[in-house]
Structure 1
Amino acid sequence: MAHVNDVSKESWLLNTFPEWGTYLNEEIENELVKEGTVSMWWLGCTGIWLKSAEGTNILCDLWCGTGKRSHGNGQMKKGHQMMRMSGVQEMQPNLRTQPFVIDPFAIKGVDALVVTHIHSDHLDINTAAAVHQNCPEAKFVGPHEVVATWLKWGIPEEKTIVVKPGDEVTIGQVKIVALEAFDRTALITCEDPDTSLKGKMPQDMDRIAVNYLFETSGGAIYHAGDSHYSNVFAKHGNQYKIDVCLGAYGENPRGITDKVTSVDMLRMAESLNAKVVIPVHYDIWSNFMADPKEITEIWKFKKDRLNYEFKPYIWQVGGKFTYPTNKDDLEFNFYRGFKDVFSVDNDTPFPSFL
């Protein structure tokens, strides 16, 4: 039996985090994806684990960090992209609201870590270290500045693959197509707080961010990273067959445009000619949280008049989505268990307890 004198902050951290332990790691490892399908798990923010029927495992944008942990001096970090965007000075109250559903250091069998862009809630040193240490054959795929960061962290250059829009990389049985990104917040991200961007030419988006299309034998998954809405989505929809699209949805605070709104999530799906649209990212930051059922309700309102050929899917972090198995489902719910009730005699003092 434990004793209070043996309990410390360190023991509490080790015994509590990640909150799900290796439960999801085990589920993914044991999952046998059926022929003609593709499965993926939502890991929080825009992080997903994609697994093909052939057993190819792609990890995308897994972030294992935190938001604010102290009130500090109450001021925004000078030069932060949100400060540059809006002129705000008070601290952004971006608290992490999701548990850690996967243990990065128990990750096994990953064939590639793929990252959309330079922001730290997508490009994570903990994930990079875990994949590097546990999956020695894994490739690290990202745009130029993402790869430059991995190299600074110590990832060997021979493990990395730099991509720009139009590039294709085959990992196992999955073809990864890099496409244009539309993340205007990334364009005003600059590490040097003393650098002024006013009146200067912006960064080259292709060096700092890309969207991805994962083409598998079970379907094609479009990951838009943190892209805002763009008319070029329609170009991508013309160029490629897209079954499922994921977009960074959220409720933007006053004076900020950083996340895709409910209406534009529907526009994105329509432009991409997708069959399913899945909002992500709204779950993670306390100051950008939104209700994804707003997307469903607007879709119901418009679908018959506009002849939508796609459906929204409201996911839950840690949950699995399989295409095309779940393509007509509107919501995810975790398995509730207890299917074997009364398979053995129950043990209560009297039947009246029931």
Structure 2
Amino acid sequence: MANVNDVTRENWIMSTFPEWGTYLNEEIEKVQVAEGTVAMWWLGCTGIWLKSHENTNILCDLWCGTGKRSHGDGLMKKGHQMMRMSGVRNMQPNLRTQPFVIDPFAIKDVDALVVTHIHSDHLDINTAAAVHQNCPDALFIGPAEVVDTWLRWGIPKEKTVVVKPGDEVAVKDITVVALEAFDRTALITCDDPKRTLKGHMPQEMDVIAVNYLFKTSGGNIYHAGDSHYSNYFAKHGNDHQIDVCLGAYGENPRGITDKLTSVDILRMAESLNAKVVIPVHHDIWSNFMADPKEIIELWRFKKDRLNYAFKPYIWQVGGKFTYPLNKDDLEFNFYRGFDDAFIDENDTPFTSFL
């Protein structure tokens, strides 16, 4: 029998985190993707697990870290991109609001870890370590600065692939296409707090961030990373067939533009000629949280007048989306169970208890 005197902070943490244990790891491993389809799971923030009919597994932007854990001195870290953007002084109250739905160190059979850009809620050392240790043949694919970070962390160079817009990498049956990113927050990210960016040419986007198109036998998935809205989405939509697009949605605080708005999400989908648009990232930060149902309401308001050829899809973290099976669904809900109610005789004193 358990005894409170044996309980410590350490065994509490080990017995509790990650909150979902290996539940989702097991689900993904067991799923056999049907021919003509492609499956994805949302892992939080912009992290997704992509699985093809041919059993190719790609992990993109999985982040296993935390936001603020202490009030500290109450001030923003000097040189932080949000400080550079708006001249703020007070600490950004970005608390992580999602549980960890996957155990990174129970990950196996990943063929590639793909990362969109340099920010730490996308480029994560825990994910890199788990994939490196558990999946010795996995490729590490990202723009130059992402790969440089992996190399500093100890990932062998021969496992890495540097990509820039226009590059294609074959990961078994999936083709990973790197495309231009439009993450203006990344452009003002600089680790040196003494460096002044005003009056100087910005760094090159292609070195620090890319968007991706994953071409699969079941459909093509466009991952926009943390891109803001860009007119160039229309060029990507002209050049590529895009079935599903994912964009970083959120409620931007006063003086900040870091996430796509509901209007931007719809414009992005229209420009990309996508069939489904899925907002992500709105789940993770306490100070950027937004209600994705706003996107559905706005879509309903506009769709007939503007002849939208796409539908929005409101996901939940840990949930599965299969294209094209779910392309006409508007919302995800977890399996509720109890399909086998009364398959066996119930055990209550009287039927009136029911």
TM-score, normalisation: structure 1: 1.00
Q: What is the CA distance between 1:266 and its match in structure 2?
A: 0.1
Q: Where does structure 1 differ by over 3 angstroms across 4 or more consecutive aligned residues?
A: none
Aligned to 1:300: 300
Aligned partner of residue 230 in structure 1, secondary structure: coil
Deviations 1:26-76 (A, max 9, x none): 000000000000000000000000000000000000000000000000000
Letter in 2 for 1:152: R
Who is 1:246 aligned against?
A: 246
Which whole-Å CA distance do the structure 1 matches of 2:172 and 2:348 have between them? Answer: 53
Shift of 1:159: 0.2
Give the distance between the partners of 1:299 and 1:102, measured in 2 at CA.
Answer: 32
CA distance in 2, matches of 1:8, 1:112: 37
CA root-mean-square deviation:
0.3
Q: What is the aligned partner in structure 1 of residue 194 from structure 2?
A: 194
Could you tell me which residue of structure 1 aligns to residue 214 of structure 2? Answer: 214
Residue 227 (structure 2) pairs with residue 227 (structure 1)? yes
- Note if 1:154 corresponds to 2:183: no
> Tell me, what secondary structure is at the counterpart of 2:185?
helix
Q: State percent identity of aligned pairs.
A: 83
1:172 is matched with 172
SS at match of 2:213: strand
Which residue pairs with 2:27 in the alignment? 27
Where do 5+ consecutive residues of structure 1 fail to align?
none
In structure 1, the partner of 2:105 is: 105
Q: Tell me the SS of whatever aligns to 1:43.
A: strand
Shift of 1:344: 0.4
Shift of 1:82: 0.1
SS in 1 for 2:155: coil
* Offset, 1:196: 0.6
- Which residue matches 2:317? 317
Aligned residue identity for 2:266:
L
1:188 & 1:6 partners in 2: Cα distance?
49
Q: Which amino acid aligns with 1:80?
A: H
Letter in 2 for 1:349: P
Equivalent position of 2:327 in the other structure: 327
Is the partner of 2:246 in helix, strand or coil? Answer: strand
Tell me the amino acid that sits aligned with residue 62 of structure 1: L
1:2 to partner: Cα distance: 1.1
SS in structure 2 of the partner of residue 345 of structure 1: coil
Matches within 5 A, 1:1-354: 1-354=1-354
Name the CA distance, whole Å, in 2 between partners of 1:181 and 1:339: 45
- Structure 2 residue runs of 5 or longer lacking an equivalent are none
CA deviation after TM superposition for structure 1 residue 309, in Å: 0.2
Offset at residue 172 of structure 1 (A): 1.0
Q: Distance in 2 between matches of 1:249 and 1:4?
A: 44
